[in-house]
Amino acid sequence: MKEKGLLIVLSGPSGVGKGTVRKELFSDPRTTYEYSISMTTRLPREGEIDGIDYFFKSREDFETLISQDKLLEYAEYVGNYYGTPVDYVRETINDGRDVFLEIEVQGAKQIRDKFPEGLFIFLAPPSLSELQNRLVHRGTETDDIIADRVETARKELEMMNLYDYVVENDHVTLACERIHAIVLAEHLRRDRVEARYKKMLEVE
Ligand code: 5GP
């Protein structure tokens, strides 16, 4: 039987730079995973192309896809639907190729429930370390600002607990390097490679 590909899920709080990191990853020739193009009901932005950036759908069509169980996950985000086509993901993984999703946190949670063997990477804002610096250098911020930032950081930290890895997005290139390292390590996990070795011994 063919070894399955990985389902790599990159998610994290809004505004953390998921889209920028994803674009940088896919402009790197070392990236071998395939990007799953999402469906959305939002209108295309200037320069966006249907079938490349997203599959742009009407609300009605999107709701039909939901009712036909054609989405691995979906979420409503700022008034629009976003979702991952299940057939593409299933076919690609079954064919032994890795799929990469860049989605918001509600969708990532749904996949964690349905597909726990996925590789879940949380992109964290650098504000967590910045926050630490500011708290260390007390006196540079008002109490209100610090309280606000602690509250934001707390919410962001809570979201993290469903993920396998945390990548701080302090610098896009560094974040991409960390993601490459995680994917490489995941491919070398004993439970993934041992079947191959067992097969080898059967032959001899
Ligand atoms: P944008 O409208 O800026 O392209 O994307 C808005 C948000 O939707 C981003 O956080 C992006 O990661 C997320 N997103 C894109 N595609 C999907 C998807 O298929 N499912 C979910 N749940 N979120 C998505």
d(CA 87, CA 106): 20
| pLDDT given for residue 153 in this prediction | 76
Q: Residue 57: CB within 6 Å of ligand 1?
A: no
Q: Ligand 1 centre from 117 Cα, in Å?
A: 22
> Per-domain residue ranges for the chain?
7-36+98-201
d(CA 36, CA 178): 20
| pLDDT given for residue 196 in this prediction | 82
**Which residue do the tokens 């911020």 mark?**
141
| pLDDT given for residue 178 in this prediction | 98
| pLDDT given for residue 29 in this prediction | 94
pTM of the model: 0.91
Query: The domain 7-36+98-201: what is its CATH number?
Result: 3.40.50.300
Q: What is the mean pLDDT of each run of 10 residues along the chain (204 residues)?
A: 90 91 96 96 96 97 98 96 97 97 95 93 82 68 77 81 94 97 95 85 72
| pLDDT given for residue 15 in this prediction | 84
Atom of ligand 1 at shortest range from CA of 19 = 12
| pLDDT given for residue 175 in this prediction | 97
| pLDDT given for residue 1 in this prediction | 66
- Which residues, other chains included, contact 90 with Cβ-Cβ below 8 Å and sequence gap of 6+? none
Q: Residue 83: CB within 6 Å of ligand 1?
A: yes
Element (H, E) at 165: strand 165-168
